[in-house]
Amino acid sequence: MMSATLDTPLSSLPGMLPRMTTALKKEGVACVRDVLLWLPFRHEDRAQAGDVLFQPSELPVCHQVIVQKAGNKYFGQRRGGGMFEAQVAPAAGSAWGQSLTLRWWNMPFMSRVIAEGQQLVIYGRIKEWKGRLSMDHPEFEVIDEEAETIHTGRITPVYRLRSGVTQKTLRTAAWHVVQALGQDFIADLLPRPSEAGEFAGWSRARALKAIHFAATMEELEKARRYLALEEFYSYQLRVVRRRRAVIQAGGHPHRAGLLADDFQKALPFELTPAQKRSLHEIQQDMASPAPMNRLLHGDVGSGKTVVAFAAMLGAVENGRQAALMAPTQILAEQHYQNARKWLEPLGVNVALRTGSRAEEGGVELFSKKHPSRGQVVIGTHALLHDDDLVRDLGIVVIDEQHKFGVAQRARLIQKGNTPDVLVMTATPIPRTLTLTIYGDLDVSTLDERPRERGKIITKVRPASKTEEAAVFLRAQLEEGRQAYLVYPLIEESEKLDVTAAKKGHESWAKLLPHFEVGLLHGKLSAEEKEAVMRSFRAGKIDALVSTTVIEVGVDVPNANVMYIHHAERYGLAQLHQLRGRIGRGSHTSYCVLFVPDKDEEATQRLAILEETTDGFRISEEDLKRRGPGDVLGKAQSGQAPLRFAELLADTRLVRLARQLAEKTMDEDPHLLDARFSELRSFVFQEDTPQAMMQ
Ligand code: ADP
Ligand code: MG
């Protein structure tokens, strides 16, 4: 017979029964391609064991057996049903004499399927009861001398099903598809691997067949890696294309001079070696005429802000404007305060822009000296809508960049004339992920924190311990420290059973009678929020009850206690961020994560935060639990989900994909080759504002 093609209808494949093709067709699966691209989500090793002893086991096992006796058994009328039972013995000799009972409840028609003398391959859990071994509802296949087994006796694919198609139907179809396809039914996407490399002898066709039915576990693993490499390669093509587009766009050299040096000298502390190294990398980029496109990546409290300020001065020194965009009003205000404190003495004008036009209440503050001009402009997303204040940007800095959509970042960058771009994030990202998600960026890492920091002690505690926690808190406040008391929502919500911040404020005010307890939440006006933060910074408020509006960036070194109520509602990375508000002064800090009494799951999940304050480890743990999409949040919006994302942990594979993509882009920058016909639009897709809304 001629080999099938991707378009061959399933009905013309040998071995496919009409009822199977009908069932599949109802699910829109009509041809070879449809089956081939329905990838299994896991595999079971059902390689058969013909002469292995039957033994009780937790995991399902596979045996080849002979049926010795079979028939229906009926009990009283009470349960209405009966049981079909088959006594089987191992098919091969050495375990001779052993016996196992297979049982099917309420399936009398089994007597037409299984009969004495047949050979079966069975797959299931073996249980023992009073010395007798049994297996209930095993998966099985009758061994037919003519045909190979499909469902058992091999490494068996398991598919995620949609309604209407059974596992066996789909697997049978996949089997016949794989048998019918030849070697060249699909063109390779990857350049042919060098003969010496890991993938020598592999092709897309082979990988697609082996991902369904592989002869060995090694072959299966190789097929998965090959397909993962394809997927990473597609991403890297896009990343490399963007990177080259930015470089080709051409920018302006911003050579750092005296101003940046004076700034460093005037700081009340010395930069850490990591800060110096990162700043050096940034300044080198800025000095070159190609626009900088760099990620500054460092755990909470690693001191990204001063590095950003020093970088911004590089543009100012060259007569251009610098903008810093922060995700919240509070954070923008804080940066503004620092900028005035550190930059104005150097003669640099600083302006603040928050609140969008749509939102008339927004504040607009300007440096006193030159009210209409700002060499350094700091703000929220409101900057995006301001064409008066923001002109001639030489550098754009985006703080907590994961809080912004791709298009918002792009919009600010477009306001400049190919400005240098520095994005910052405190979400520690494993290296392979930065290569994939932020692959078009160069990366600087702040991998150490400024010294003289107090450590943070973290405990997960049941909510019923709040009173005891209050005693501890009073002692800390008496010593002059300050505290954050965090609640997840502002309004009481019956359904969610949230202790609202307002109620929390009332009860904490009672628990802390001699102290000033403040309240901060998202429904306050901008002025009210800033007034509260100013009092807190000034030490007039001792304990601040707050929603998560304080999550990012807020910096009050004297605050050393944080209680987080309903900690079970947060992700690990978010708790780590919140906790980053403390541990900023020289005092030992204390973080208590309250979870509902007896919530074992939460207690266990949050335990890692008791163990470590290393954001990198926490983020890896998060990655394991939730997958990269959730951890990275908006970073991935607009991108297709990675199917083989688990393999992202494999640096070698991601790097190989990068190398191959660089080479392809050298040889065929517009991807004109036919093998890219489907990929082209993905690679050249721009991040339009529309794309962000999806
Ligand atoms: P993040 O990286 O989380 O944005 P910040 O920039 O807010 O961190 O810095 C945290 C705190 O550390 C700030 O109070 C900042 O002034 C201080 N800081 C930054 N660099 C140093 C340093 N080299 N030595 C001492 N303190 C520093
Ligand atoms: Mg910050």
* Residue 456: CB atoms within 10 Å: 19
Q: What are phi and psi of 341, to 5 degrees?
A: -60, -40
Among 109, 130, 153, the domain-final residue is 153
- Look at residue 373 and tell me if it is in a domain: yes
Q: How far apart are CA 300 and CA 550, in angstroms?
A: 13
Judgement on whether residues 486 and 410 belong to the same structural domain of the protein: no
Ligand 2 centre and the CA of 438: distance in Å? 19
Paired tokens of 439: 């692959």
Radius of gyration of the chain (CA): 32
Q: How far apart are CA 206 and CA 362, in angstroms?
A: 60
Q: How far apart are CA 653 and CA 230, in angstroms?
A: 10
Place of tokens 């030490």: 539
* Residue 255: CB atoms within 10 Å: 13
Q: How far apart are CA 505 and CA 522, in angstroms?
A: 15
DSSP secondary structure code for residue 54 in this structure: P
Nearest protein CA to atom 24 of ligand 1, as residue: 450
Judgement on whether residues 596 and 538 belong to the same structural domain of the protein: yes
pLDDT for the residue numbered 399: 93
For residue 424, the one-letter residue type is: M
Total domains in the chain come to 3
For residue 600, give every residue at least 6 positions away whose Cβ sits within 8 Å of its Cβ, in sequence order, or none.
Answer: none
Judgement on whether residues 283 and 412 belong to the same structural domain of the protein: yes
Residue 660's nearest CA partner among 186, 250, 198 is 198
Judge if the beta carbon of residue 303 lies within 6 A of ligand 1: yes
- Look at residue 54 and tell me if it is in a domain: yes
Residue 638's nearest CA partner among 629, 650, 646 is 629
Nearest protein CA to atom 20 of ligand 1, as residue: 303
> Domain with 547 in it: what CATH number?
3.40.50.300
Model pTM?
Answer: 0.66
Judgement on whether residues 359 and 461 belong to the same structural domain of the protein: no
N residues, the chain:
694
- Look at residue 252 and tell me if it is in a domain: no
Judgement on whether residues 492 and 561 belong to the same structural domain of the protein: yes
SS3 9: strand
pLDDT for the residue numbered 77: 56
- Look at residue 517 and tell me if it is in a domain: yes
Judge if the beta carbon of residue 615 lies within 6 A of ligand 1: no
Distances (CA, A) of 464 to 75, 467, 470, 619: 53, 8, 12, 29
Paired tokens of 549: 């509006």
Judgement on whether residues 461 and 592 belong to the same structural domain of the protein: yes
Judgement on whether residues 263 and 407 belong to the same structural domain of the protein: yes
**Contact present, 661 and 233 (Cβ < 8 Å):** yes
Paired tokens of 287: 């000095």
pLDDT for the residue numbered 369: 45
β-strand partners of 484: 544, 562
β-strand partners of 605: none
Paired tokens of 684: 């050249």
- Look at residue 145 and tell me if it is in a domain: yes
Give all strands (DSSP E) within 254-302, no chain letters: 293-298
Judgement on whether residues 463 and 572 belong to the same structural domain of the protein: yes
Give the residue, out of 306, 398, 587, with the most ligand 1 atoms within 8 A of its beta carbon, to mutate for a pocket test.
306
pLDDT for the residue numbered 94: 56
Distances (CA, A) of 458 to 279, 298, 467, 468, 484: 32, 21, 18, 16, 14
Query: How confident is the model over 443-498, as pLDDT tens digits?
Result: 898 888 886 667 899 999 999 998 899 999 999 999 999 999 998 765 555 445 44
Among 632, 656, 689, the domain-final residue is 632
Judge if the beta carbon of residue 450 lies within 6 A of ligand 1: yes
Strand order from edge to edge, sheet including 393-398: 364-366, 350-353, 376-379, 321-325, 393-398, 420-425, 293-298, 442-446
β-strand partners of 595: 462
**Contact present, 173 and 20 (Cβ < 8 Å):** yes
Give the residue, out of 265, 269, 423, with the most ligand 1 atoms within 8 A of its beta carbon, to mutate for a pocket test.
269
- Look at residue 205 and tell me if it is in a domain: no
Q: Provide the CA 16 distance to its chain's centre, in angstroms.
A: 41
Among 602, 632, 662, the domain-final residue is 632
Judge if the beta carbon of residue 272 lies within 6 A of ligand 1: yes
Residue 395's nearest CA partner among 312, 335, 339 is 312
pLDDT for the residue numbered 590: 96
Query: Which residues line ion ligand 2, judged by CB < 5 Å?
Result: 553
Place of tokens 């063109």: 187
- Look at residue 667 and tell me if it is in a domain: no
Q: How far apart are CA 164 and CA 195, in angstroms?
A: 44
**Contact present, 140 and 123 (Cβ < 8 Å):** yes
Ligand 1 centre and the CA of 611: distance in Å? 23
**Contact present, 92 and 48 (Cβ < 8 Å):** no
Judgement on whether residues 420 and 481 belong to the same structural domain of the protein: no
Ligand 2 centre and the CA of 554: distance in Å? 7
Judgement on whether residues 421 and 476 belong to the same structural domain of the protein: no
> Domain with 111 in it: what CATH number?
2.40.50.140
Which structural domain, as residue segments, surrounds residue 133?
A: 47-153
Ligand 2 centre and the CA of 30: distance in Å? 54
Judgement on whether residues 460 and 539 belong to the same structural domain of the protein: yes
Query: How confident is the model over 660-675, as pLDDT tens digits?
Result: 999 999 999 999 998 8
Residues in the chain with pLDDT values less than 50: 356-372, 494-495, 497-498, 629-640, 688-694
Judgement on whether residues 329 and 416 belong to the same structural domain of the protein: yes
- Look at residue 51 and tell me if it is in a domain: yes
**Contact present, 298 and 366 (Cβ < 8 Å):** no
Q: How far apart are CA 426 and CA 433, in angstroms?
A: 14
